[in-house]
Amino acid sequence: MSKMHPLEEMVIRLAAQMEPQASLAAQCSDERLTRWIEFHGLKGANIHITVARQAALSLLLKALICQIVSPGALPDPAPANEILAKVGEVCKYLGWGHLPASYLDSLALETGASIDMPTVAHLLTILQRESQDDVIGDVYATLIPQDARRTLGQFWTPVHIAELMTHWAIQKPNDRVLDPAFGSGVFLLTAIKRLLDLGQSSPTATQQVAGIELSPLAFEMGVVNVLLRYPQARPSLRLGDFLVPQRAPMSVLRESSVAYDIETFQPPLPGLEPSTPTAFPDLFDIIVCNPPYTRHHHLPEAYKAEWVKGVEQQFGLRLSRFSSLFAYFFVQAARMLKPSGRMAFITPAVVFEASYSRQVKAFIQRQLRLHAIITFDEALSVFEGVDTAACITLLEGPQAPRRDQVTLIHVSQWPGTQTLLDVLASDSAATYPWGSVHSVALTDLQPRRKWTVITREAGRFADDRFVPLGQLARVMRGIATGANDFFVLSDAEVEAWGLNPASLRPVLTKTREAPGYVFDRDDFERLGREGKKRWLLYLSGPLGTDTPEARYIRHGEQLGLHQRSLVQKRARWYEMERRDPAPIYFTYLSRKKSRFIYNRAGVLALNVFLYIYPDQRIVEDEIALKALLAILNSLVSKDALRRVGRTYGGDTIKLEPREMDQLPVLNPLALEEVVRNRLADLFDKLCAAKSDDVKEKIRQAIDETVAGVEMLRASSSRSDEP
């Protein structure tokens, strides 16, 4: 077990003094606490512990700010009221205005918290020694549950990613840089370092960097991280909502080729008190951002509605109500960018694949210059705690030189910052051990296409051993009963009604009931032991008058089920669609871990699955069937699924059968026997694996095998050239 960091120890110790008061406030429904909880979207039984830890960290950060800027100014021990008063003076001195009081401050005051300043001085020494790392952000992520960071989208950016983005974006020593959601400050720090490397002096470089942060606690984390590295730094920092700026001067707006009119047209989020105006006097040369990973259902409806209205009025851009906070940040950043400036944004890859992103892509093509998109393998954990693939989008303002080609880079192994910068500078297409680089005509990136899918698949399916799945298999949707609770029964219900086994078929009803890559008889029996519904009423023809089945159907009619729209289309409302069990089922509505499942139990499945009936030559050859299952469950195929399907919020992919027909897959019948055997063996190991780590290693081996076939083909093609 790793040793606890001194900062974490201090937070936990100080929070223990605050927890009883936080618990009492929660029991009394204290309005201030209620607003803080709403602001962060906190949930669960231990909210008071989370809030107490936030309050303890906040007070410690304030004490650190005072110690860095004005050492010795606080008494020992320093009570909360004196820390709060002093940090207010320090922030005014630094030009950051007055920090509005939050519930965390109230909690520290009410509990009479105080801090031992010699301990703070010792902690400061430790943090300065470790200033190359984001220790504060790491401690926060350790102490505060991920659910308590999700609503505000608090996920930190790795330093090497921030270095890549700021290095590409910042080209001149006098560039002014904005991070609209600076969090723990990694972009602020890498931007200052880049400006220094370009020859700017330290005091001036820190003044050229600006940032906005919505969370008071994250604001303090960012401030401390910057001051640890650059004690004399004076960046322009604002606490507030980036999406609620003040009007910019018309002299600035006229510089742009677009008639921007930056207005305040929506209220702050709940729980955020009025603070320093977030407007800056000028547009920026550079904007770098990892916007909050906040999905649309975490945004207040009034907030979204006002923003959608304002954007439509200014740009004719009608944002979908399903848009994540990224879309709002992206448009707002574009409005604050100089016409010749550069933007570097981190986004979930699905942002450019989802149907709701079309308007954003159209906005990019109309108002900006798209330079490059960098995507990452899902197996490459670039962003800790983020459960979806990410990408980096590099753009320039509307007055930058027009480009006919866009560079698409896909990274499977991190090659180093300089390697990627060299590739971006050269714009040359090539395949590397760490990934691939392609150039795509700007005209090919239409808003209706899935840009990040194009990035990952460019050139991949040129091998003639890739064929549409429709050439290898017949695809059908699962059975739609029209009333699952009635037509699907548990063992107990079958026994209670005395139904004839000949009138029933084994069936899978939910994707979570088949959690692995194979579903066999043992799995089906497990459903029975768990009391799950697992029998589909499978009747045909007229029923007698006094059979158990007839009595059960009359029961359904008494419930009015025969009047439902779907069942009324049948010749007899209780007759199911006829299906043979499929060898393969696809969990096409799984939000995470969509899978192609080997149906060894011979069960039917409802319409949360797609039925896949492979070519008889594959069905009769179990090695070929398992090889196909391995191919279908590879990341290569998962990427291709996004190409042919429709992506919704998160990682949810929905495909209709005719869309699945178009899925490009490696034809197992066209593979060498040794490759088929290896893939079949890997699929068996994948089914038997007990841990996610082992499964991931097997998935990687499958991907390497599939990639090896591609590389072998490419090598063979090159050797045939004259």
Domain residue ranges in the chain: 6-143, 152-372, 465-480+579-722, 483-576
Higher local confidence (pLDDT), 481 or 426: 481
pLDDT digits (tens, 9 = 90+) for 439-462: 888 877 777 777 766 655 554 555
pLDDT digits (tens, 9 = 90+) for 11-52: 999 989 888 887 777 666 677 777 777 766 666 667 788 888
The contacts found for 201-206 with CB under 8 angstroms, 24 or more apart, are: 202/230, 202/232, 203/232, 203/234, 205/173, 206/230, 206/232, 206/233, 206/234, 206/235
* Confidence band for 254, pLDDT divided at 50, 70 and 90: very low
Higher local confidence (pLDDT), 464 or 374: 374
Q: Which of 198, 210, 194, 209 is nearest to 162 (CA)?
A: 194
Cα first-last separation, the chain: 60
Higher local confidence (pLDDT), 264 or 280: 280
Q: Which of 132, 127, 154, 151 is nearest to 143 (CA)?
A: 154
**pLDDT computed for residue 295 by the predictor:** 55
Mean pLDDT lowest for which of 369-378, 511-520, 624-633, 708-717?
A: 708-717
* Per-residue pLDDT at 364 exceeds 60: yes
* Per-residue pLDDT at 604 exceeds 80: yes
Q: What is the CATH number of domain 465-480+579-722?
A: 3.90.220
**pLDDT computed for residue 155 by the predictor:** 58
Q: Which of 434, 457, 426, 461 is nearest to 444 (CA)?
A: 457
Burial track 297-309 (b if 16+ CB lie within 10 A, e otherwise): eebeeebbebbbe
* Confidence band for 688, pLDDT divided at 50, 70 and 90: confident
Q: Which of 148, 150, 219, 207 is nearest to 183 (CA)?
A: 219
The CATH number for 152-372, chosen from 3.40.50.300, 3.40.50.150, 3.40.190.10, 3.50.50.60, is 3.40.50.150
What is Dmax (Cα atoms) for the chain? 94
Arithmetic mean of pLDDT, 155-161: 80
Mean pLDDT of the chain: 81
* Ranges of H-type helices in 544-656: 548-558, 565-568, 616-619, 622-632, 635-644
* DSSP letter assigned to residue 354: B
Higher local confidence (pLDDT), 154 or 671: 671
**pLDDT computed for residue 706 by the predictor:** 67
* Per-residue pLDDT at 378 exceeds 70: no
User: In this structure, are strands 646-647 and 114-115 parallel, antiparallel, or unpaired?
Assistant: unpaired
**pLDDT computed for residue 317 by the predictor:** 72
**pLDDT computed for residue 625 by the predictor:** 96
Are the beta carbons of 415 and 434 closer than 8 angstroms?
yes
Dist. CA 656–CA 403, nearest whole Å: 36
Higher local confidence (pLDDT), 125 or 348: 125
**pLDDT computed for residue 455 by the predictor:** 55
Q: Which of 362, 368, 366 is nearest to 345 (CA)?
A: 368
User: In this structure, are strands 177-179 and 209-213 parallel, antiparallel, or unpaired?
Assistant: parallel
Mean pLDDT lowest for which of 6-20, 86-100, 309-323?
A: 309-323
Dist. CA 69–CA 64, nearest whole Å: 9
Arithmetic mean of pLDDT, 178-182: 93
* Confidence band for 715, pLDDT divided at 50, 70 and 90: very low
Mean pLDDT lowest for which of 322-336, 464-478, 612-626, 627-641?
A: 322-336
pLDDT digits (tens, 9 = 90+) for 228-239: 999 988 898 888
**pLDDT computed for residue 680 by the predictor:** 92
Are the beta carbons of 636 and 509 closer than 8 angstroms?
no
* Per-residue pLDDT at 187 exceeds 50: yes
Dist. CA 192–CA 207, nearest whole Å: 9
Mean pLDDT lowest for which of 121-135, 257-271, 629-643, 651-665?
A: 257-271
Higher local confidence (pLDDT), 211 or 443: 211
Query: Which residues are CB-neighbours of 441 under 8 A, at least 6 positions away?
Result: 404, 405, 406
Dist. CA 682–CA 688, nearest whole Å: 10
* Confidence band for 366, pLDDT divided at 50, 70 and 90: confident
Arithmetic mean of pLDDT, 559-587: 92
* Confidence band for 164, pLDDT divided at 50, 70 and 90: very high
* Per-residue pLDDT at 1 exceeds 80: no
CA–CA distances in Å: residue 197 to residues 192, 201, 223, 270, 654? 9, 9, 22, 41, 48
432 has which bridge partners?
A: 435
Dist. CA 578–CA 571, nearest whole Å: 13
- Provide the residue type at 479 as one letter: I
* Confidence band for 275, pLDDT divided at 50, 70 and 90: very low
Are the beta carbons of 190 and 229 closer than 8 angstroms?
no
* Per-residue pLDDT at 599 exceeds 50: yes
* Per-residue pLDDT at 414 exceeds 80: yes
Arithmetic mean of pLDDT, 119-129: 92
* Per-residue pLDDT at 565 exceeds 90: no
* Percentages of the chain per state (helix, strand, coil), in multiples of 5: 50, 15, 35
Question: Most confidently modeled of 52-56, 485-489, 643-647?
Answer: 485-489
**pLDDT computed for residue 240 by the predictor:** 79
* Per-residue pLDDT at 249 exceeds 90: no
Mean pLDDT lowest for which of 81-85, 376-380, 555-559?
A: 376-380
Mean pLDDT lowest for which of 354-358, 596-600, 622-626?
A: 354-358
Question: Most confidently modeled of 40-54, 313-327, 616-630?
Answer: 616-630
Q: What three-state secondary structure class fits 432? A: strand
Percentage of residues in the chain having pLDDT higher than 70: 78
Ramachandran category for residue 29: left, alpha or beta (phi over 0 → left; psi -120 to 50 → alpha): left
Arithmetic mean of pLDDT, 327-336: 84
Higher local confidence (pLDDT), 197 or 313: 197
* Confidence band for 492, pLDDT divided at 50, 70 and 90: very high
Q: Which of 283, 281, 246 is nearest to 264 (CA)?
A: 246
Q: Is the peptide bond before 614 cis (omega within 30 degrees of 0)?
A: no
Arithmetic mean of pLDDT, 242-259: 38
**pLDDT computed for residue 280 by the predictor:** 75
